[in-house]
Amino acid sequence: MILSYPTWLIHIASTMEWFLSIELIWELANQLKSDFNFKLSCTMILFIYNAILACTWHFFENIVFLEWLILSQSLITLVANISLWIIVITDRES
Average pLDDT over residues 27-32: 96
Q: What is the pLDDT of residue 1?
A: 54
Average pLDDT over residues 55-68: 88
The total of other beta-carbon atoms located within 10 Å of residue 34's CB is 15
* Range of the structural domain that residue 35 is part of: 5-93
Query: Is this structure's pTM higher than 0.95?
Result: no
Average pLDDT over residues 11-20: 93
Average pLDDT over residues 51-59: 89
Number of domains observed in the structure of the chain:
1
Taking all residues of the chain, what is their mean pLDDT, rounded to a whole number? 92
Contact 77, 50 (CB under 8 A): yes
The total of other beta-carbon atoms located within 10 Å of residue 69's CB is 20
Q: Is the pLDDT of residue 39 over 80?
A: yes
